[in-house]
């Protein structure tokens, strides 16, 4: 059965995840994280794709990016994956697959939904119990977005900029938003949409994008369609 085409629209952010093959590590030392971020920065600059948030975990990566043209994120992930695999294989004298097949991507429309995804990404190390505070994790955009640590990779999304009238107020607002108690249903919804690669957005956005694409952007109804029952003549 052929794969359904990705929902890929310029100006619509995408939540992207790529996992290590068989959930094995894809980062082995600190220099590997540095190299991945350097390669990512160079490639997105070339492709003119904006990165708003990221987290590099031991065996997977989350990115929040907005493309300026169709198929741009695909080109970024392909170039990044090949370049990083080549570096790992040469550096550690290994062979074989590093990544688990194709990356997954979930388009995100609406500012509130986008900030939820960005928060989900930056809270990954906390959920994994690697740190007690997301600001303690080095390989994440949180230290830039919440504290102001320099990170030339990050281009804030307009939704983040709208959190305050200046940088300090935006950072304080973002830090407070990240540290709020998150409803489990929100986390599960983000995971489900990403796993199924469905649009994460309010219904009004979903309907507008479905009309633009001419196809569904969410799950079809499960089960067989109902049989039409003919009326019985008396």
Identify whether the C-beta of residue 106 lies closer than 8 Å to the C-beta of residue 194: yes
Q: Encode pLDDT of 6-21 as tens digits.
A: 777 899 999 999 999 9
Question: Quick one: pLDDT at residue 1?
Answer: 43
Percent of the chain at pLDDT > 70 equals 88
- pTM of the complete model: 0.88
pLDDT at 220 over 50: no
- Write the pLDDT tens digit of every residue in 14-68: 999 999 999 899 999 999 999 999 999 999 999 999 999 999 999 999 999 999 9
Residue 15 CB contacts under 8 Å (≥ 6 apart), including other chains? 62, 63, 64, 105, 106, 107, 108, 117, 120, 121, 190, 194, 200
Domain extents in the chain: 13-201
Q: How confident is the model at residue 158 (pLDDT cuts 50, 70, 90)?
A: very high
| Residue 127 exposed, middle or buried by CB count within 10 Å (0-12, 13-18, 19+) | exposed
Can you give the length of the chain in residues? 234
Per-residue confidence band for 226, with pLDDT thresholds at 50, 70 and 90: very low
What would the pLDDT profile of 96-134 be if each residue is shown by its tens digit?
Answer: 889 998 899 999 989 999 999 999 999 999 999 999 999
Q: Where are the alpha helices (DSSP H) in the chain?
A: 30-47, 72-92, 111-122, 124-127, 142, 158-161, 167-178, 184-196, 203-213
Is the domain spanning 13-201 CATH 3.30.70.1290? The answer is yes
> What's the chain's average pLDDT?
89
């Amino acid at each position: 059965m052929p794969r359904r085409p990705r929902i890929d629209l310029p100006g619509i952010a995408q939540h992207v995840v790529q996992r290590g093959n068989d959930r094995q590590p894809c980062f082995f030392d600190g220099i590997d994280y540095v190299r991945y971020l350097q390669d990512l920065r160079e490639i997105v600059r070339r492709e003119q794709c904006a990165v708003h948030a990221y987290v590099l975990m031991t065996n997977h990566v989350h990115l929040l990016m907005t493309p300026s043209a169709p198929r741009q994120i695909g080109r970024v992930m392909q170039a990044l994956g090949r370049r990083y695999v080549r570096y790992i294989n040469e550096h550690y004298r290994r062979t074989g697959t590093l990544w688990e097949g194709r990356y997954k991507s979930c388009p995100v429309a609406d500012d509130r939904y986008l900030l939820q995804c960005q928060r989900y990404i930056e809270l990954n190390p906390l959920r994994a119990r690697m740190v007690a505070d997301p600001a303690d994790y080095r390989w994440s955009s949180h230290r830039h977005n919440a504290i102001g640590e320099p990170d030339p990779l990050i281009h804030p999304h307009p939704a983040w900029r709208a959190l305050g009238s200046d940088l300090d107020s935006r950072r304080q607002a973002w830090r407070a938003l990240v540290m709020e108690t998150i409803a489990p249903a929100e986390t599960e919804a983000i995971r489900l949409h990403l796993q199924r690669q469905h649009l994460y957005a309010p219904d009004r956005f979903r309907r507008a994008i479905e009309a633009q694409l001419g196809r569904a952007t969410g799950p079809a109804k499960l089960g067989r369609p109902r049989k039409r029952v003919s009326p019985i003549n008396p």
